[in-house]
Amino acid sequence: MKILAADIGGTNTKMGICDERGNVDQYKEYPTESLKGGPHVIEKLLLQLAVYADYDAIAISTAGQVNSEEGYIVYANENIPDYTGMKIRDIVENRFKKPVRVENDVNAAALGEAYFGAAQSFQDFLCLTFGTGIGGAIVIDRQIYRGAKGVAAEFGHIITHPLPDKRGGERKPYYESYASTTALVRMARHVDPECVDGKVFFGKIREGNEPLQQVLHAWAAEVAVGLASIIHIFNPSAIIVGGGVMEQEELVRAVEAQTQDLIMDSFADVKILKASLGNKAGLLGAASLFLR
């Protein structure tokens, strides 16, 4: 079976033809242009999908809260304006006359890791991606746990800091306000204004910049605080961490060490592993909705 899969991200959209072995052929990326709004994003997607031929079904991974049974966007923030309510499955099925399934991007990444990547040996695990915010997925018996309304695992919005006082505050108390890549860059810019993104930051880290290494250590502690909380709630066999920042193996090990310092001994056998599929995780996870 061949699945035409697409992964709609805030910056780029990836697509290709996936098979049962986890191969991705005819792979390509193009700019999502998300700030132009949901209708533009989907119209551009349709144009790119039309280039492909010889496939059996279409699978789509996308940012935003997704009703996977009906294939529409339950909620999307300002990163993709006018995306909430978008009936992606109906639009794509009507255009191409093929079966279509739609899944949230982090859920899709978790499924990709479950069937083709770092989580193949685990029945129960969590997946977190660290980027502009923090996305999450819960896998129980190798199935996505969705919650009452299908939007469970908003780990980025667990509260890890005291609520701001009544006078208000610039920063909200959520996990992603302190442990996302956005938060890391913000922390780094206070120390070195040249750190405008993660690429510059890690370049300076590799040069041995001591003040920025201290920033990285402090940020890893923020990551560990959230991981310790969800470990105590879910008691998972493993946590798969993804996102560009987690490509640094030494950072994953630092996060693991700090997490172990915070959790009870009876939870200490949890594995914290780097996602292994890179930017193809969402494609393969979406495709697995048909392939499995």
* pLDDT tens profile 250-277: 899 999 999 999 999 999 999 999 999 9
Q: Nearest 5°: CA angle at 35, between 32 and 37?
A: 85
DSSP annotation string for 22-54: S-EEEEEEEE--GGG-HHHHHHHHHHHHTT--S
- Grade residue 247 by pLDDT with cuts at 50, 70 and 90: confident
The stretch 146-154 carries a mean pLDDT of 90
Percent of the chain with pLDDT over 90: 87
Q: Nearest 5°: CA angle at 272, between 157 and 189?
A: 55
Three-class DSSP category at 240 = strand
Encoded tokens for 58: 């279409």
Which of 164, 160, 166 has the alpha carbon at shortest distance from 180? 160
Task: Give the number of other Cβ atoms within 10 Å of residue 241's Cβ.
Answer: 23
Query: pLDDT of 61-88, one tens digit each?
Result: 999 999 999 999 999 988 899 999 999 9
DSSP letter, residue 279: G
Residue 288 and residue 292: Cα distance in Å, rounded?
5
- Cα-Cα-Cα-Cα dihedral sign, residues 235, 237, 242, 248: positive
Residue 254 and residue 260: Cα distance in Å, rounded?
10
- Grade residue 279 by pLDDT with cuts at 50, 70 and 90: confident
Q: pLDDT at position 10, please?
A: 83
The stretch 156-168 carries a mean pLDDT of 80
Res 170 pLDDT > 80: no
DSSP H or E segment with residue 72: strand 72-75
- Grade residue 169 by pLDDT with cuts at 50, 70 and 90: low
Q: Report if pTM > 0.85.
A: yes
Position with higher pLDDT, 132 vs 194: 194
Residue 254 and residue 217: Cα distance in Å, rounded?
8
Query: pLDDT of 25-60, one tens digit each?
Result: 999 999 999 999 999 999 999 999 999 999 999 999
Q: pLDDT at position 165, please?
A: 60
Query: pLDDT of 93-117, one tens digit each?
Result: 999 999 999 999 999 999 999 999 9
Q: pLDDT at position 166, please?
A: 59
DSSP annotation string for 92-105: HHHHH-S-EEEEEH
Residue 225 and residue 207: Cα distance in Å, rounded?
28
Which of 112, 102, 198 has the alpha carbon at shortest distance from 150? 102
- Grade residue 180 by pLDDT with cuts at 50, 70 and 90: very high
The stretch 159-175 carries a mean pLDDT of 77
Domains with residue ranges and CATH for the chain? 3-110+279-291 (3.30.420.40), 121-276 (3.30.420.40)
Q: pLDDT at position 168, please?
A: 55
The stretch 126-138 carries a mean pLDDT of 93
Residue 80 and residue 63: Cα distance in Å, rounded?
9
Res 19 pLDDT > 60: yes
DSSP annotation string for 153-186: --GGGSB-SPPP-TT--SS-SBHHHHHSHHHHHH
Cβ neighbours of residue 161 under 8 Å, at least 6 residues apart?
A: 173, 177, 178
CA 226 to chain centre: 16
Q: pLDDT at position 132, please?
A: 83
Q: pLDDT at position 11, please?
A: 84
Percent of the chain with pLDDT over 70: 98
Position with higher pLDDT, 278 vs 62: 62
Average pLDDT along the chain: 94
Residue 26 and residue 52: Cα distance in Å, rounded?
9
Res 167 pLDDT > 70: no
CA 190 to chain centre: 26
Q: pLDDT at position 259, please?
A: 98
